Amino acid sequence: MCGIIGVVLLYTGLLGKRLGTVIKGCLKNLEYRGYDSVGFALLTEDGALVLRKSKGMLDKVAWKLGFDRFDGVCGIGHTRWATHGRPSDTNAHPHTDCRSEIIVAHNGIISNYLEIKEDLVRKGHVFKSETDTEVIPHLLEELMSKGVKPLDALRETFKILNGAYAFVVILRSEPNKIYFARKISPLIIGLGNGYNFVASDIPAFLEYTNKVIVLRDLELGYVTPTEVYIEHLKEGAVDITKRVRVIDWTPEMARKSGYPHFMLKEIHEQPLALHSTLSSLVSLKGLKNVIDLLINARRVFITGAGTSFHAGLVGDFYLTKLAGIPTYPFISSECWKYKGVFDEGDVLIAISQSGETIDTLMAVRTAKSRGAKILAISNVVDSIIPRESDLVIYTRAGPEIGVAATKTFTTQVLTLLYLSLKISESIGRNSDYSRRVFDELAKVPLMAKEVIVSNEGRVRELSRKLMNKQSILCLGRGLGVPIAMEGALKIKEIAYIHAEAYPAGESKHGPIALIEEGFPVIFILLNDELKEKIMSNIEEMRSRGAYVITLAPGDIELPKRLVNYEIKLPATTPEVGAITYILPLQLLAYYISVNKGYDPDKPRNLAKTVTVE
């Protein structure tokens, strides 16, 4: 997982600032893809090369690298998340061939690089780093030294390299061209007037253009300031005119617009994201097909990773309870269990924010190869998983840049709830209750706003009480369990506090042994038939000295002696509650992280989209 950017200009200074500064800005917007090292390479009009790279976060090393001091007509930049070779100055991208004629930045993994490297070393090539990337320039050099033209050499290299990757190449002999290739890992072209971009994601260049071409698997080609050439490895040249899309996000949307962190911005964007998703679902044309697919399915599986899996667990509850369709939720990396079980007539619901999560993609491919149909739920239009699926529903959360998923979770849950209600409506099951939930669902964006506005201050106060704790236990029953799991995940990943979720009924079978004076326990109390039971769980915990925090509907009065800190939420059905209850937990994780002095947008050891198994 890394971010790459390439930009090529008709003449020096076309964008009104130095090319180094342009690349720095682009890399800043790609930082969510990795941030352990950065580097860039620039070519001037006569082919002079500047190559600078370093370990460390962009902001910290920008001055050292001196982005702002260099100008040119063509440049590439890279922000790295180490996979092969530890983060270091030499392992940072871009990498070059033996003579520094060919310069490459790469994202993803080349699985057969060791054998290629051995072969090249035998032929006399000198490798400087421990990365898999470095085989690309040397391989190109090897081919080009035999007189092969650059594009043909690129095609040959592309055939030789296995794995999931995307890369960009510049040549000192052709300072107005950037070559690129994509296999599985994303790569996007941005079209400008007298300049073109190639990048791992759209926000990188959104400041300069909103016209893009999303490259597909096995495509390669080059961009010059005025020309774009794309070919498919097997199918030949591509007609690009049909592929140009205009992005309606403004660059401002992809930035923080005054928020201290992307995560807080994205938490606050949830009411709007819910609203957009709900409106797009209401007008969704293919919904009938989706409903038919699920009603007629022999069995329904749900898969996802991390937060998407938690959304899947909530979806499992909805489909089972509201629509009467029992489902099998599983974590996508654990797919092997069902490998021989998927069959024709089965449906797999694959949930992935990015549409690129490798484990989920593998699960999709496994199920598909056995004849199962795939329904994808994703936030990124035209990404791999949606493209490989039979049917797709897109959440309309907008770009999510914070590594911890927030608005994509709530919009995924909303989508699954809407779907389940539509199914129950079309089969005439639980119709009275479903209609009530439906009415509540329409209010969910406003309810979400209300929850955030009326609780942010209190949650911030609570975060100060919890910031020095070693552990937090999150308990719930029924729908409260996946919410507790998602809340615990948020606390773990950005606040670095060990947090564990458990069904409250199970707490007697183990976790209660942990409880001592002041041990924080968060209870998720939904307005359902399980609330009496959960009250006795609270009693158990409080009597052992736990610091009890409750998330409960405002109309339920909890005895003061039982609760140390109460967060009140709007009274609603438990199904809709699954969307609103996660908001205070997201805020809690955020504020604990900020109070402890961490950067919630960049949790250590994590990347936004996991594209390696």
| Residue 490 binds another protein (CB under 8 A) | no
**In the complex, minimum distance from the CB of residue 401 to another protein, in angstroms, rounded to a whole number:** 16
CA–CA distance, 12 with 46 (Å, rounded to integer): 11
Identify which of residues 394 and 591 has a Cβ nearer to another protein in the complex: 591
- Point out which span in 238-246, 421-429, 450-458, 537-545 binds another protein (CB under 8 A): 450-458
Listing DSSP states for 471-526 in one string gives EEEEEESTTHHHHHHHHHHHHHHHH--EEEEEEGGGGGGTGGGG--TT-EEEEE--
- In the complex with another protein, the residue whose CB is nearer, 194 or 545, is 545
Q: Which of residues 409-448 bind another protein (CB under 8 A)?
A: 445-446
Query: What is the C-alpha separation between 442 and 278, in angstroms, rounded?
Result: 8
3-state DSSP assignment of residue 188: strand
Task: Provide the b/e sequence for 456-467 (b: ≥16 CB within 10 Å).
Answer: bebbbebbeebb
Nearest-angstrom CA–CA distance, 395 and 386: 12
Min CB(447)–another protein separation in Å = 11
Site for another protein contains 591 (CB under 8 A): yes
Tokens describing residue 106: 């790469």
Catalytic residue, from 53, 373, 407, 608: name it: 608
- Give long-range contacts, CB 8 A cutoff, 24+ apart: 569-573: 569/451, 569/455, 570/447, 570/450, 570/451, 571/527, 572/440, 572/443, 572/447, 572/527, 573/436, 573/437, 573/440, 573/527
- Indicate which single residue of 126, 237, 244, 453 sits in contact with another protein (rule: CB under 8 A): 453
> Which positions from 266 through 295 interact with another protein, judged by CB under 8 A?
268, 271-272, 275
- Residue nearer to another protein on the CB measure, 125 or 261: 261
Give the Cα separation of 381 and 370 in Å (integer): 26
Q: Is 457 in the site for another protein (CB under 8 A)?
A: yes
Is 608 designated active site? yes
Determine if 261 is a binding residue for another protein (CB under 8 A): yes
The answer to whether residue 554 forms part of the interface with another protein (CB under 8 A) is no
Give least dist CB 200 to another protein, A.
Answer: 25
Which region, judged by CB under 8 A, interacts with another protein, from 40-48, 227-235, 425-433, 453-461? 453-461
The residue written with tokens 């032929």 in the block is 123
Supply angle C-alpha 436, 437, 438, rounded to 5: 90
Please, are residues 600 and 263 in contact by the beta-carbon 8 Å criterion? yes
Mark whether 337 is an active-site residue.
Answer: no
Beta bridge partners of 369: none
Q: Which stretch binds another protein (CB under 8 A): 53-61, 256-264, 341-349, 537-545?
A: 256-264
Q: Which is nearer to another protein, 37 or 550 (CB)?
A: 550
> Which segments of 47-187 are extended strands (E)?
49-55, 74-80, 95-96, 102-110, 163-171, 174-183
Going residue by residue from 233 to 252, which x/- string records binding to another protein, judged by CB under 8 A? Answer: -------------------x
Owner of token pair 């180490």: 82
Binding segment (CB under 8 A) for another protein, from list 212-220, 392-400, 454-462, 525-533: 454-462
Q: Which of 7, 191, 384, 594 binds another protein (CB under 8 A)?
A: 594
List the interface residues with another protein, window 63-122 (CB under 8 A). none
What would the two tokens of residue 139 be?
């391989």
Q: In what order do the strands lie in the sheet with 95-96?
A: 95-96, 102-110, 163-171, 174-183, 219-223, 228-232, 236-237
**Length of the chain (residues):** 613
Site for another protein contains 45 (CB under 8 A): no
CB 434 → another protein: shortest distance, Å?
25
Q: Please tell me which residue in 2, 26, 74, 474 is annotated as part of the active site.
A: 2
Of positions 16, 124, 236, 258, contacts another protein by CB under 8 A: 258
What is the edge-to-edge ordering of all strands in the sheet holding 188-191?
49-55, 37-43, 74-80, 3-9, 195-199, 188-191, 211-214, 244-246
**Beta carbon nearer to another protein, 501 or 548:** 548
Among 45, 334, 461, 529, binds another protein (CB under 8 A): 461
Q: Shortest gap between Cβ of 522 and another protein (angstroms)?
A: 17
Residues 340-379 within binding reach of another protein (CB under 8 A): none
Catalytic residues: 2, 608
Q: Catalog residues that contact another protein under the rule CB under 8 A.
A: 252, 256-261, 264, 268, 271-272, 275, 445-446, 449, 453-454, 456-461, 465, 517-518, 590-591, 594
